[in-house]
Structure 1
Amino acid sequence: MSDNTSYIIGTDIGTGSAKTIRLGVHSGAVIGSFQQAYPTLHPAPGYAEQDPEALLAAVKAGIREMAAAAGGPPLAIALSSAMHSIMAVAGDDTALTPLIIWADNRSEIQALTLRDTPEGINIYRQTGTPVHAMSPLCKIRWLRERQPALFAQAAMFPGIKEYILHHFFGHYITDHSIASATGLFNIATRQWSDEALTAAGIRAHQLPAPVPATHILTGLKPAVAAELGIPADTPFIVGGSDGCLAQLGSNALDAGHATITIGTSSAMRMAGLQPVTDAERRLFTYLLTDDIYITGGASNNGGVLLQWLVRDFLKQPLDNLQSLISAGLQAEAGTLICLPYLQGERAPIWNSHATAAFIGIQPQHSTEHFMRAALEGICYALRSIRDPLAATAGAIHKISVSGGFTASPGWIQLLADVFGQSMHVRQQQDASAIGAVMLAAEALKLPPIAGLQHQHEKIYTPDMDRHVVYNQRYERFIRLGEVVLKQ
């Protein structure tokens, strides 16, 4: 059988777009891809919302395009999704709110009042999710306190993948991976945490039923099947979170193998066989499957910082972003340091109130220098996650990278120089969607997709002379951050 008749569709529901791939199970090659973008709305300071119908339409478009291009139905469809989204839905399935995404900081006060209490510390130990405005736990607390009438109408609090699966199949379920990123899920018992539910002011029946990431759904609504152009009995694998699946898609489940993803946001992670938590609560620990845990830290500010810099600060079209990145990589930031906390920050400082800054501006600094400083700032923020990750999850022997930033080889080299470690790039397609496909193959009990295990890696080795320079700049970055964040 050819890849056109034996393939799996993987869809990653990201922050800026839904990315859908068609992967042949015999070759392990991505034989088709589709991407559809959608906006994030900021109706008030600290708010970050999306229209769930726009995300649903993008997912449908991707599946429809991939199935139509193949000329035959897929073996299965598997889903990946960004974490921490939440919305309120009434009993008749009417959406009461937009989708509130991870970047939304409106519940900062709710997070701060809970975080350092005995209750908050225990919730972190149970759930593996730092108490922070990103988490659905804190977002639900905000709705309860600030919009009590709306809160009282809510029968269900799904995230985006759960909302889409309900549209497809008519019931609410969530995978353990997404559930473990809510701050409401006990990763030891695999059930919603009673203590976290009490803190949120809701009951377990108001959250989707948790299932393993390999759970298979069948019985697609006939109207949806017709719209997608696939049989109604097509298996859907519920899948997991984008971060956990990026680890799987990067073939980075072995000990000491970390991954870095830079897209709209950024993150660094490692897999392990046991749930570990950081004594200082700087890191998350999420489930992938029942015997694989992903520990790491995420930064709010990856590509979103560069988009702001180009669109709002430099007043240039976003179409110029890639050329400006290339120009910035040729510049030398020198004294110019960027604290990249445009949308507050998660790991390791967990400060929703943090703000971005350029420090050390001199007359010779031009557009290219600001871009270079921003690129370095994103790398420094990731490096600040590495030390607590290594201390908590073990020594880091290898780093694989994925995400949109891999389109810029100079940026990968910069990251290697900042870290003083080699960066391994296996493929430039979306690692989260590939991870979803690999999970689907496991769920369907197919043989391992051999081509994915033996892909050629490109390795970016660090320039250790440059690393010495970046060590000095990194130390300045940390010192300046400590001063600015105290203000």
Structure 2
Amino acid sequence: MKYLIGLDIGTSSTKAIAFDLLGNIISKSNIGYPILNPKPSWSEQNPDEMLVAVINSIRTVIDENDNKGNELLGVSFSAAMHGIIAVNEKGEKLTDCIIWADTRSTQVSESIKNSEIGHEIYMRTGTPIHPMSPLCKITWMRDNMKEVFKNTSKFISIKEYVFFKLFGKYVVDYSIASATGLFDIYDLAWNKNSLEVAGINKDKLSLPVPPTQIFKGMNKKYAELMGIDVDTAFVIGASDGCLANLGANAIKPGDAAVTIGTSGAIRIIAEKPKNDESERIFSYILTEDHFVLGGPVNNGGIIFRWFRDNFSQIERATAESLGIDTYELLTKEASKVPAGANGLIFLPYLLGERAPHWDANSKGVFFGINITHKREHFLRALLEGVIFGVYSVGKALEETTGNIDTIYATGGFVRSELWVQMLSDVFNKKVVVAESYESSCLGAVVIGMKAIGLINNIEEVEKLVPIAQTFTPNIKNHEVYMKTFEIYERLYLKLKDEFVSIGLLQK
């Protein structure tokens, strides 16, 4: 059997998934690593740990398929956006990978956004100006890590770090580049205004290449560690968010993909970029002919994990004894409560927020607590709050790009029927779940198939994505949610200034 590996370097883990040529999963490996928080607003990861996860996950899948006599055709990459690593002339890290959740550059981002060229940078790069953006992170490093900044040879993402180690070249795909705030999505080149703001030239950044670019001639040491030939085709691929749309087959007009993993997002695919004058949404590149428009939320599954890790010790022990997932127990608990959680509302901004507010100062809030509320109400409100966050972005997206008809759900949250039904109820739209929710890895494989000539265009993904489940909205629940959502939106506006004040006490 011939197969390709889709490799996704994510925030929580790196996944290597082997797909046959019909899009079926034949083996997988998943290796996790921690998020480091050395200071309250800092979120980092060790790129060397992530590199080891890449090598070991690929090795695991290779070994399993070698034992079956299967033939590897190539490896294609997906990776998280917005991370930045400073490296020296030898390619050694001077910093850990500063990830999307890091908000240390909040003041810098506000300064750039309010400058004379801030809006122009957004309109040319498609990336909202926010602490997630490598533009803001590099500018912050220039002013606050002066010695590191001076000794930096390149500012790169985690995928670039991996490709440099494997092939000795600094390259970045158009898709990852388009999420930096440094890349002109119209000219497919580094943006001069962005470079000037950050105080760097293009030599400090990698060479931009198409997502279908193939690399061969890997460093022999890493090839041996992976158990593959040095001339195995490695396709650089694209970003995880863009590939999630592709892998979910959400590529036609009226289709949207909602992904909730660690964070979350809602996105559509269009032939051209379309930026929002109000700067609420992004325009990222999937390929030169496919642009992904949408918005990310910082607070997705990480909110559920926060609740599990801090308030569910008994449930975790029970789940372990029963051999089931803790989240399954927690979801059952939340299902005891009706839509709207009996008036308990949760603003899920534990990591600040990106779209549509782009407010790194925002904080989490439980509102409306009364004496009748129990633990299950808090759980229900928590899950609903995450969906409300996505819905607020969906509203902005529809205002900019037109109506959404069908939502394709992807990411770890699809394992919870309750959570997916909430999505359908809140949006009042049909929600479709594919048989495999590993859409970023499958999307990477589709790009790989296109690169090595197995398919003529990425629209052929439709043949590879069978539908497992369809959810339709409960109108009564939708009506409750809309009343609740009105309060949810007003709460943010009323508390916006107070988030800044409370933030000063938390430093």
Identity of aligned residues (%): 40
Structure-1 separation of matches of 2:6 and 2:463: 14
Contact 1:282–1:297 at 8 Å: present in 2 too?
A: yes
Instruction: Identify the match of residue 382 of structure 1 among 362, 386, 390.
Output: 390
Give the drift of 1:62: 1.3
What's the counterpart of residue 461 of structure 1? 472
Q: Secondary structure at the match of 2:85?
A: coil
Structure-1 separation of matches of 2:461 and 2:386: 34
What's the counterpart of residue 90 of structure 2? 92
Spell out the pairing of 1:81-480 with structure 2 (5 A cutoff).
81-314=79-312, 320-332=326-338, 333-447=341-455, 452-453=463-464, 455-480=466-491
Contact 2:446–2:461 at 8 Å: present in 1 too?
A: no
Structure-2 separation of matches of 1:345 and 1:323: 28
Structure-2 separation of matches of 1:87 and 1:329: 42
Q: Secondary structure at the match of 1:118?
A: coil
Q: Secondary structure at the match of 2:342?
A: coil
Residues 177-235 of structure 1: CA deviation (Å, up to 9, x unaligned): 00000000000000000110011111101111100000101111111111100111100
Across the aligned residues of Structure 1 and Structure 2, the Cα RMSD in angstroms comes to 1.4
Q: Secondary structure at the match of 1:151?
A: helix
What's the counterpart of residue 15 of structure 1? 11
| One-letter code aligned to 2:432 | H
How many residue pairs are counted as aligned between the two chains?
482
Structure-2 separation of matches of 1:258 and 1:58: 31
Q: Secondary structure at the match of 1:129?
A: coil
What's the counterpart of residue 503 of structure 2? none
Give the drift of 1:275: 1.0
Structure-2 separation of matches of 1:452 and 1:105: 41
Q: Secondary structure at the match of 2:162?
A: helix
Contact 1:19–1:430 at 8 Å: present in 2 too?
A: no
Give the drift of 1:306: 1.3
Contact 1:79–1:237 at 8 Å: present in 2 too?
A: yes
Structure-2 separation of matches of 1:468 and 1:355: 27
Give the drift of 1:28: 2.1
Give the drift of 1:166: 0.6
Contact 1:402–1:427 at 8 Å: present in 2 too?
A: no
Spell out the pairing of 1:31-110 with structure 2 (5 A cutoff).
31-71=26-66, 72-110=70-108
| One-letter code aligned to 2:58 | I
Structure-2 separation of matches of 1:159 and 1:59: 14
Q: 1:141 to 1:313 in 2, by over 3 A?
A: farther
Residues 461-480 of structure 1: CA deviation (Å, up to 9, x unaligned): 00111111111011111111
Give the drift of 1:440: 0.3
Residues 1-34 of structure 1: CA deviation (Å, up to 9, x unaligned): x3xxx10000111110111110001x32111111
| One-letter code aligned to 1:20 | A
Contact 1:83–1:181 at 8 Å: present in 2 too?
A: yes
Give the drift of 1:313: 4.4
Contact 1:87–1:159 at 8 Å: present in 2 too?
A: yes
Structure-1 separation of matches of 2:403 and 2:159: 34
| One-letter code aligned to 1:55 | M
Q: 1:247 to 1:302 in 2, by over 3 A?
A: same
Structure-2 separation of matches of 1:329 and 1:407: 14
Q: Secondary structure at the match of 1:111?
A: helix
Q: Secondary structure at the match of 1:74?
A: strand
Give the drift of 1:447: 3.2
Contact 1:99–1:159 at 8 Å: present in 2 too?
A: yes
Q: Tell me whether 149-158 or 440-449 shows the greater mean CA deviation.
A: 440-449
Q: Secondary structure at the match of 1:260?
A: strand
Instruction: Identify the match of residue 30 of structure 1 among 25, 28, 52.
Output: 25
Contact 1:326–1:408 at 8 Å: present in 2 too?
A: no
Contact 2:175–2:287 at 8 Å: present in 1 too?
A: yes
Q: 1:100 to 1:462 in 2, by over 3 A?
A: same
Contact 1:29–1:452 at 8 Å: present in 2 too?
A: no
- Please give the TM-score of this superposition, normalised by the length of structure 2: 0.93
Structure-1 separation of matches of 2:336 and 2:151: 55
Structure-1 separation of matches of 2:165 and 2:114: 38
What's the counterpart of residue 485 of structure 1? 496
Contact 1:183–1:196 at 8 Å: present in 2 too?
A: yes
Q: 1:450 to 1:471 in 2, by over 3 A?
A: closer
Give the drift of 1:73: 4.5
Residues 307-362 of structure 1: CA deviation (Å, up to 9, x unaligned): 11222345567663331123113323111100000000000000000000001111
| One-letter code aligned to 1:7 | Y
Q: 1:421 to 1:168 in 2, by over 3 A?
A: same
Contact 1:48–1:103 at 8 Å: present in 2 too?
A: yes
Contact 1:10–1:77 at 8 Å: present in 2 too?
A: yes
Q: Tell me whether 320-329 or 407-416 shows the greater mean CA deviation.
A: 320-329
Give the drift of 1:427: 2.4
| One-letter code aligned to 1:323 | L
| One-letter code aligned to 1:41 | L
Q: 1:375 to 1:219 in 2, by over 3 A?
A: same
Structure-2 separation of matches of 1:149 and 1:90: 12
